[in-house]
Amino acid sequence: MIRHDYWKEYQSLQFEEDDIEYFPLDPFGEVASTFILQSDAFINIAVGSIRSGKTIASIVRFLRYIQSTDYTYFAMAGKTLKALKKNVVRPMKGIMRSLGIKYHHRKSDDEIDILNMGKLRTIVLYGVEKKGSDEIIKGSTYAGAFLDEVTVMDPEGVHMLVSRNSDGDAKIFMTCKPGNPNNFVYTEYVNNQEKLANDDVKVVNFLIDDNPSLSPSYVRHIKSIYPEDSLFYKRNILNQWVSGQGAIYDKFNDDNIYDTYMPLDWYDFVEVGSDYGTSTTTCYEVIGIKEFEDHTQFDVIREYGYDAKREGVTQTDAQRVDDIYHLQEEYHLEKNNTFYVSHDATSLLSALEKDDRIKMSLDTFKPNTLECIQEISSLFYKNYLRIHKSCTETIKQIQGYEWDTKAAQNGEDKPVKKDDHYPDALRAPIITHSNQKEILAGVISF
């Protein structure tokens, strides 16, 4: 591959006009300072609870390392390129701008060129989500790498990227939240006593209380999102590697069931979520959404489902469209109401788009299952998500929604794929409208 010689351009390079603001670096706490100054192993991992400052400290450490070496090519990776650019590249640009480091992001090549103190460096960006992502990394050679939220990446892609860092005294910096103790990152790196003893791997643990840039009231708010004995509190607040066991929505109780109907016009939005099954269950959930100043309230007003196994006959898409049309008319839904189609229901989406009777806006939703569970668990705990007592199948399936213990043994966090259609149908309207989603988006990265 012939690379364009950008050197002459860099002699007068200015910052990109890409709307990146300066990122002011507040004084680092003791833990972040330790990571920045002492992470000198081959693999250095910042493991941290949410909002603990691990990502910013790791970015600063990575930039510091790049400036200290004479090698040229480096790598950065996230689960997806989109997530990497949002959670790491954007704040890194702001940090470079604040530090006076010139850069140019060649978006067509997914590469960032950096000029600092007369030295030209190139960072290649990767998404390492899917099996086979190692193929795009093969043949490359790097002198260092940054891997963001490494526990959710494809293991083979991570292994390949680690193996390609062979230039000089290469160093790799990883960030992650604690997760399943059978995850490959924990077993191969974080808890690998031999590698730790040999200083091949260094692990620094961050807690939210270690981040001096957060106010005490904000820290209290973040901690209050989860019940203290829950899986997500143990991982996201206490920084513990624990596995999901038993009921997923273990805080769901009678307070989350209501028996009076509110007028539809009381809600700010009325949306419909769906789950699509060709030979199993197709179901729909009508959800009323009321936005208050300090939270968003979700009421599951009505459930509707067709069980192909019980009926002995599979529905056609035309029949499903008829059901959706009748639901639309019953609740007087129009273009300002959204019907969320499952991301894998392409034929149903096409049928809905072609039917002139459908007035609702149509959208698709591809869930991140663990993030959806985290958000919905919190809403049940706060009683910001209620289900009408007439939605008996939804209530039953939520009460029976369990972690898959066999998958947990392989380091995966996912529900048992049984009687899960109605809980799955709730996700799109709730995650789309939840006023906590911005908090939790930041939680996932910084």
The confidence score (pLDDT) of residue 19 equals 56
Measured between alpha carbons, how far is 215 from 220 in angstroms, rounded to an integer? 9
Give whole-number Cα distances, 304 to 47, 249, 364, in Å. Answer: 43, 21, 19
* Rounded percentage of the chain residues whose pLDDT exceeds 70: 92
DSSP result, 107-133: TTTTEEEEEETTEEEEEEEEE--STTG
The confidence score (pLDDT) of residue 436 equals 46
pLDDT band at 204 (very low <50, low <70, confident <90, very high): very high
Q: Are the C-beta atoms of 31 and 194 separated by less than 8 Å?
A: no
Boundaries of every domain in the chain: 7-216, 254-445
Asked if pLDDT for residue 3 goes beyond 80, the answer is: no
Architecture of the domain defined by 254-445 = 2-Layer Sandwich (3.30)
Q: Which residue has the higher pLDDT, 142 or 261?
A: 142
The confidence score (pLDDT) of residue 10 equals 41
The confidence score (pLDDT) of residue 435 equals 53
Q: Are the C-beta atoms of 85 and 193 separated by less than 8 Å?
A: no
Architecture of the domain defined by 7-216 = 3-Layer(aba) Sandwich (3.40)
The confidence score (pLDDT) of residue 115 equals 86
pLDDT tens-digit series, residues 15-45:
444 556 666 677 889 999 999 999 999 999 9
The confidence score (pLDDT) of residue 17 equals 45
* Range from 92-106, 222-236, 349-363 that averages highest in pLDDT: 349-363
Closest CA to 178 of 145, 149, 219, 218: 149
Between helix 369-382 and helix 437-445 the angle, nearest 10°, is: 130
